[in-house]
Structure 1
Amino acid sequence: MLKGENTRKHIIAKSAELFNQRGYAGSSLSDITELTGIKKGGIYRYFASKDEIAIEAYQYAGGIVNRKIKEALDQESTAMGKLLVYLQVYENVVEAPPFIGGCPLLNLATECDDGHPILRERARKGLDSTLDAMKKIILEGVQSGEFKANLNIDALATFTLSVMEGGIMLSKLEGDNRHVRMNIESLTAYLKGMCLL
């Protein structure tokens, strides 16, 4: 791999950690130069703006989380098990999140929902992608006879994601994983009520 490509990846990786912990607004270009050890001129050799770094950093962080979710999904055979994976990946969010700082989608969405249109659009794409993946799992569960045929697929996907992100937010804020863990238990009980098997 070329040195320039390695440098670019280094900037993205370090910026992803910074943005996911401090937020976009709370992170300056000076913070990025300090964290990466690369001067501003060097940063601008690879990126036109802080926005460009933020977009790539979000994609990087999201990619790491998505790989961890996919690895866990591959271990599950039921639709119920697969839906619960989304919460289980964050079961130890306080001490060992799948990406430092917690959920990149949650962090970006809460920071940029009213302010930064470019980053808001990235968060919206992440939301749509996650909901679509959950809907696909639920549909497969309905088609296989695991879930009730009259199940509202869209509503269950929204509910699952809301329970996931709410648990992450509460656990991170309180510094206690109990919220995510209670939500796993509650969602498990709820999904059992939706199952035919």
Structure 2
Amino acid sequence: MNTSDFILDKVAPIFNKQGYIGTSLTDITNATGLTKGAIYCNFSNKEDLALKSFQLNINLAITPLFKLVSTKEGCLNKLHAITEYQRSYYDLVKDRGGCPMLRVGVDTKFINPLLFKAAQNLSEKFTTGLTNILKDGITNNEIQPNTDPVKYAKIILSLIEGGSLLAFTHNDQTYITNAMDFIDSTLIESIRK
């Protein structure tokens, strides 16, 4: 593991737990055991380190979901793969500070435009992916033709992120489980053909 990877491995969970403003240079040097100079030899500034930390957190928490969904055939199988993944999501990210997309999206909106844009882009990618799954479901006669794919994609993402927010707020995974059950048993059932 090179020095940059070592720093990211130590610091990414701290950024996710404490936020961009809440993470100080002292936190970073304490976590890594490295000097300020060693940190900034590997990253141009705190914003660069935060952005790369966010990308690492995404690679650990959300990229596996995208890869899993890409292996599934059919709209319904893809949607159920998403809800099944989310059921284990709390355990996956609870020790790393929660959902990185949610954390960064809320934490950086008014203070770090670059990092906020990265979270916003990820959210848009998620929404587009869900929209495309639903459009394919309509084309392949799995989903009712009068379904608005964009609307339902936004509802599904809202239930995922809302369940995640409340699960971490209350330290109670049932918020995620109940939201995923609702997507499976009510939402998907209401639009399936």
Structure 2 length as normaliser, TM-score?
Answer: 0.91
- In structure 1, C-alpha distance between the alignment counterparts of 2:50 and 2:59, rounded to whole Å: 14
Q: 2:189 aligns with which of 170, 192, 195?
A: 192
- In structure 2, C-alpha distance between the alignment counterparts of 1:23 and 1:88, rounded to whole Å: 28
1:40-59 equivalent positions in 2, closer than 5 A: 40-59=36-55
Cα offset, 1:105, TM superposition: 0.5
- In structure 1, C-alpha distance between the alignment counterparts of 2:135 and 2:89, rounded to whole Å: 28
4+ aligned runs moved over 6 Å, structure 1 = none
Identity of aligned residues (%): 24
Cα offset, 1:123, TM superposition: 1.2
- In structure 1, C-alpha distance between the alignment counterparts of 2:47 and 2:144, rounded to whole Å: 45
- In structure 1, C-alpha distance between the alignment counterparts of 2:60 and 2:67, rounded to whole Å: 11
Cα offset, 1:27, TM superposition: 0.6
The 1:86/1:15 distance shift into structure 2, 3 A limit, reads farther
SS in 2 for 1:23: helix
Cα offset, 1:94, TM superposition: 4.1
Cα offset, 1:93, TM superposition: 4.2
Which consecutive residues of structure 1, in runs of 5 or more, have no partner in the other structure? none
Cα offset, 1:30, TM superposition: 1.1
Name the structure where helix makes up a greater proportion of residues. Answer: 2
- In structure 2, C-alpha distance between the alignment counterparts of 1:133 and 1:99, rounded to whole Å: 27
Count residues with an aligned counterpart. Answer: 192
Q: 2:147 aligns with which of 151, 174, 181?
A: 151
- In structure 1, C-alpha distance between the alignment counterparts of 2:60 and 2:95, rounded to whole Å: 7
- In structure 2, C-alpha distance between the alignment counterparts of 1:42 and 1:116, rounded to whole Å: 23
1:110 matched residue in structure 2: 106
Structure 1 length as normaliser, TM-score?
Answer: 0.89
Which consecutive residues of structure 2, in runs of 5 or more, have no partner in the other structure? none
Q: Deviations over 1:104-155 (max 9, x none)?
A: 1001001112332121111111111111111111111111110011211111
- In structure 1, C-alpha distance between the alignment counterparts of 2:122 and 2:71, rounded to whole Å: 23
The 1:48/1:75 distance shift into structure 2, 3 A limit, reads closer
1:70 matched residue in structure 2: 66
Q: 2:171 aligns with which of 154, 170, 175?
A: 175
Q: Would the aligned equivalents of 1:168 and 1:180 in 2 still touch at CA under 8 Å?
A: yes
Q: 1:122 aligns with which of 118, 125, 128?
A: 118
Q: Would the aligned equivalents of 1:11 and 1:36 in 2 still touch at CA under 8 Å?
A: yes
Cα offset, 1:95, TM superposition: 3.5
Cα offset, 1:84, TM superposition: 3.8
- In structure 2, C-alpha distance between the alignment counterparts of 1:75 and 1:121, rounded to whole Å: 28
Q: Would the aligned equivalents of 1:65 and 1:98 in 2 still touch at CA under 8 Å?
A: no
RMSD: 1.9
Matched, 1:137 2:137: no
